[in-house]
Amino acid sequence: MGLKRGDKYRQTKPGLGTQALFLKSVIYLISNILFFRTLLPAFKM
């Protein structure tokens, strides 16, 4: 459902669509890094 809406948005405004996709991936990466950084000390103990 969300993908279809994103595709439609990307077709109408390609520049904004790719920028939003890039932002999403960057935020996803940062959240993953923070998540693992909080988990690693717990595993070391």
Each residue of 1-45: pLDDT tens digit?
Answer: 445 555 565 556 666 678 888 999 999 999 999 988 888 877 776
Given this model, what pLDDT does residue 31 score? 94
Amino acid sitting at position 28: Y
What does the alpha-carbon distance between residue 24 and residue 32 come to, in Å, rounded to a whole number?
Answer: 12
**Of 27, 19, 21, 15, which Cα lies nearest the Cα of 2?**
21
Given this model, what pLDDT does residue 1 score? 44
| pTM, to two decimals | 0.47
Question: Domain of 10?
Answer: 2-44
Given this model, what pLDDT does residue 9 score? 56
What does the alpha-carbon distance between residue 38 and residue 17 come to, in Å, rounded to a whole number?
Answer: 32
What does the alpha-carbon distance between residue 5 and residue 2 come to, in Å, rounded to a whole number?
Answer: 5
